[in-house]
């Protein structure tokens, strides 16, 4: 039976299955420690297209096609696709699915989009409204840079706390009947703003949101951190990870040794110049699809809490002097 527990958590009675997952990333991500795990690494950032936005659109389109193939299903059998990215008006997603036959829901949760997508899809499925749903999210370093920061060739230095937007797309196919890891719970986050204004330190801005959602999830469900094999946040990076673990211990939850972060898993920070680590919708989406999903499938991980984190800012609102509003969604997944 579907149940709502505590303040923000839902438990699924009939759990949706994650029948397949696919991830395609850029060359820089391919050079990272997870390089061999991804389904495909595009040789050039432009992905054979004339603009970065089109390159990201194609990245999502190709990941979607691959996902259909890996899930041995066809477009006609998909009820919904729930997609999102970082670009203004969500155009990478909308244009990737232009011309497709199934219902499309575009969502924006900044880098938490993938978690939001899986949560919404699971609830739709729990409500018996769909048999197959695709959850997918992407980001692209070059399209994000031009929208949020500077032109690529502009000679500027980054701070040590800055993060590197992942060029990548990850997606999962949820099925009502089937096999594979199952979505057992979803804790939709609330918006947390601790008043930070430095857009070059988003890990620190997002950490309180991650800690809030994780702590709420554990309170709502009455679980302990070590009920999970891994609690994995989306893109807190080095600074945010440190803060999130510390905040959680102040809430009374010891996650040291259990917590990991997709932004830290993505790059080799000793060899690659990614500063505090990876970020972007594509970060948690591709790390989940290529690294965590297979481990759940082989039951090397039996239960994880996947917590994509998002900084809901725009350059405009930051220039107007506002602080960074953040969010994190927690998805409980059993292998």
Partner 1 sequence: MQKLYNSKEYQKYVDKKSPNSKLGLNMLKAFLTGGTICVIGQLLTNYFNSRDLDQIDAATLTSMCLILFSVILTALDLYFYIGKFGGAGASIPITGFANSIVSPAMEFKTEGYVMGVGAKMFLIAGPVLVYGISSSVLLGLIYYIVK
150 binds partner 1 (CB under 8 A): yes
Residues between 198 and 217 with contacts to partner 1, criterion CB under 8 A: 201, 204, 208, 211-212, 215-216
Q: Does 219 bind partner 1 (CB under 8 A)?
A: yes
Of 3 and 51, nearer to partner 1 (C-beta) is 51
Binding span for partner 1 by CB under 8 A among 64-72, 227-235, 240-248, 284-292:
240-248
Q: Are 284 and 168 in contact (CB under 8 A)?
A: no
- For residue 155, state whether it binds partner 1 (rule: CB under 8 A): yes
Q: Which of 123, 116, 37, 48 is nearest to 82 (CA)?
A: 116
DSSP-assigned letter for residue 267: S
Interface with partner 1 by CB under 8 A: which range of 65-73, 83-91, 98-106, 145-153? 145-153
Q: How many CA atoms lie within 13 A of 280 on its CB side?
A: 34
Dist CA 8 CA 187 (whole Å):
5
We find the least distance from the C-beta atom of residue 78 to partner 1, in angstroms, to be 32
Give yes or no for residue 251 binding partner 1 (CB under 8 A): yes
- Min CB(87)–partner 1 separation in Å: 13
Is there a contact between 269 and 230 (Cβ–Cβ < 8 Å)? Answer: no
| Radius of gyration, alpha carbons of the chain | 18
Q: 172 has which bridge partners? A: 21, 135
| Closer to partner 1 by Cβ: residue 142 or 172 | 142
The DSSP secondary-structure symbol of 224 reads -
Number of residues counted as binding partner 1 (CB under 8 A): 34
Structure tokens at 116: 């939001």
Does 226 help bind partner 1 (rule: CB under 8 A)? no
CA distance 64 to 315: 30
Pick the stretch among 60-68, 97-105, 159-167, 310-318 that binds partner 1 (CB under 8 A). Answer: 159-167
48 contributes a contact to partner 1 by CB under 8 A: no
Q: Would you give the DSSP letter of residue 192?
A: B
Q: Does 311 help bind partner 1 (rule: CB under 8 A)?
A: no
Among 76, 154, 298, 316, binds partner 1 (CB under 8 A): 154
Please give the structure tokens belonging to residue 82.
Answer: 């729930």
Between CA 185 and CA 274 the distance in angstroms is 33
Question: Least distance from C-beta 261 to partner 1, angstroms?
Answer: 15
The interface mask with partner 1, positions 270-309, x = CB under 8 A, is: ----------------------------------------
CA dihedral 205, 7, 170, 154 (to 10 degrees): -20
Q: How far apart are the first and last CA of the chain?
A: 20
- 220 forms part of the interface with partner 1 (CB under 8 A): no
Quote the DSSP letter at residue 222: T
Nearer CB in complex with partner 1: 31/229: 31
The answer to the question of residue 157 lying near partner 1 (CB under 8 A) is yes
C-alpha to C-alpha distance for 112 and 328, rounded to whole angstroms: 6
Q: Which of 90, 94, 314, 323 binds partner 1 (CB under 8 A)?
A: 323
Q: Which residues bind partner 1 (CB under 8 A)?
A: 50-52, 146, 150-157, 159-161, 194-196, 201, 204, 208, 211-212, 215-216, 219, 239, 242-243, 246-247, 250-251, 323
């Amino acid at each position: 039976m579907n149940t709502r527990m505590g303040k923000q958590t839902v438990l699924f009675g009939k759990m949706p299955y994650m029948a397949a997952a696919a991830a395609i990333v850029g060359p820089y991500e391919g050079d990272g420690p997870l390089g061999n795990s991804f389904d495909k690494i595009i040789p050039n950032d432009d992905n054979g297209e004339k603009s970065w936005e089109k390159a990201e659109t194609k990245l999502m389109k190709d990941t979607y096609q691959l996902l259909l193939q890996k899930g041995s299903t066809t477009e006609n059998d998909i009820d919904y696709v729930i997609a999102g990215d970082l670009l203004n008006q969500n155009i990478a997603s909308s244009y990737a699915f232009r011309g497709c036959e199934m219902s499309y829901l575009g969502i924006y949760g900044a880098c938490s989009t993938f978690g939001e997508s899986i949560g919404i899809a699971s609830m739709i499925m729990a409500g018996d409204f769909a048999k197959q749903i695709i959850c997918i999210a992407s980001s692209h370093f070059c399209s994000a840079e031009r929208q949020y920061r500077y032109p690529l060739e502009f000679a500027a230095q980054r701070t040590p706390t800055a993060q590197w937007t992942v060029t990548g797309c990850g997606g999962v196919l949820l099925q009502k009947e089937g096999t594979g890891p199952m979505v057992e719970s979803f804790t939709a986050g609330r918006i947390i703003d601790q008043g930070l204004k430095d857009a070059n330190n988003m890990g620190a801005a997002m950490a309180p949101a991650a800690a809030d959602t994780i702590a709420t999830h554990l309170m709502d469900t009455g679980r302990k951190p070590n009920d999970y094999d891994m609690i994995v946040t989306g893109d807190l990076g080095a600074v945010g990870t440190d803060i999130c673990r510390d905040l959680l211990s102040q809430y009374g939850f010891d996650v040291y040794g259990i917590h990991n972060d997709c932004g830290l898993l993505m790059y080799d920070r000793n060899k690659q110049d990614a500063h505090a680590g990876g970020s972007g919708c594509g970060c948690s989406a591709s790390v989940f699809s290529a690294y965590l999903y297979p481990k759940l499938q082989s039951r090397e991980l039996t239960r994880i809490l996947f917590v994509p984190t998002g900084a809901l800012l725009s350059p405009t609102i930051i220039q107007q002097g506002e602080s960074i509003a953040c969010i994190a969604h927690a998805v409980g997944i059993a292998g």
